[in-house]
Amino acid sequence: MTPHTLALPDYREQLPEVAARFGKIRQRPVVLSVKGLRKDFGGNGASHTVFNNVSLDIHRREFVTIIGPSGCGKSTFIRIVAGLDEATGGEILLDGKAIRGPGPDRGMVFQGYTLFPWRTVKQNVMFGLEMRGQGTSAAESEARQWLEMVGLSKFENSYPHELSGGMKQRVAIARALANEPQILIMDEPFGALDALTRCKMQSYLLQIWKKVNVTILFITHDLDEAVLLSDRIMVLGVNPGGVREIIENPVPRPRSVDQMLTPTFLSVKRRLDELIHGPVSEQEEEKLPVIKLTEAGDEVE
């Protein structure tokens, strides 16, 4: 039985304004340049290559998302960019300079919030500024501005454990942005949130991105999230690991949840689905070897 399928446009078709936008993005200077990145795990003979020859240029104020099945090394990739892991080969340039270890020029938002539990919300946002050697009063007023931007001024003296998951993640974003990083790296930041909060956070992130001079490198395993947020989507695969395709997202901006049912949106989503799970025709539902335990005539379908 074939369900009704829509005739979707080619995901490579772009409206003139979308094409113009990509043209403008390409004109901007490259913030982050990844060249021939390779990562092996294990070593000593039994090594396993997670990905190989990954190259990507991210331009200023671009929103790039990395997506892929589990095990494709998207988290590893992002951790290497953040300087928390080391690559086996290749190089990463930030503003033309090779990165060495973690640094405040690459802000990071983790899935697990990672707020400092002993610091209040305001003190959390002040952390990076203090590390930079800024005086307390200056850091404090700056932190207040960032908290106002993420709408948490009222909670500046609360401790993280008193906040909801979405609020914690907003504090984490404010904390990372307060450092004014060249690039904001987000590792499945909304993965632990419920669907409703996640949806709010997505539109929220788009607003922040519009207001703040920041380039975003985002990881998700959620196709809708990837299409809703990004300019370009890099799809990583497994066996062999590496880049499957870098898609220029044709969905016009400004984005909203309403676009999620437009043919353009769906065309990108279907392409992502193909790349990650294989073409629709080849997808076979695995039959589970379950013995029938219900009575005849008690069918659900």
Q: Which residues bind other proteins (CB under 8 A)?
A: 82-84, 101-104, 106-108, 110, 112, 114, 116-119, 127-128, 130-132, 151-152, 154-155, 158-164, 166-167, 175-176, 179, 185, 200-201, 203-204, 206-207, 254-257
Closer residue to other proteins (CB): 258 or 286: 258
CA dist., res. 56 & res. 10, Å (int):
23
Q: What is the largest CA-CA distance in the chain?
A: 76
Q: Which is nearer to other proteins, 17 or 194 (CB)?
A: 194
Distance of closest approach, residue 149 Cβ to other proteins, in angstroms: 11
Q: Which is nearer to other proteins, 238 or 260 (CB)?
A: 260
Min dist. Cβ of residue 206 to other proteins (A): 5
Instruction: Output the smallest distance, CB 121 to other proteins, in A.
Output: 11
What is the closest distance, in whole angstroms, from the C-beta atom of residue 262 to other proteins in the complex?
A: 15
- Please identify, using beta-carbon distances, which residue of 152 and 236 lies nearer to other proteins: 152
Spatial CA neighbour of 271 closest among 257, 251, 289, 252: 251
Please, are residues 227 and 269 in contact by the beta-carbon 8 Å criterion? Answer: yes
Closest CA to 163 of 174, 175, 171, 173: 171
Q: Bridge-partner residues for 30, per DSSP?
A: 59
Beta-carbon contacts of residue 69 (< 8 Å; ≥ 6 apart): 221, 237, 238, 276, 277
CB of 224 to other proteins, least distance (A): 15
Contact between 64 and 234 (Cβ < 8 Å) = yes
Residue number, 123 or 267, with CB nearest to other proteins: 123
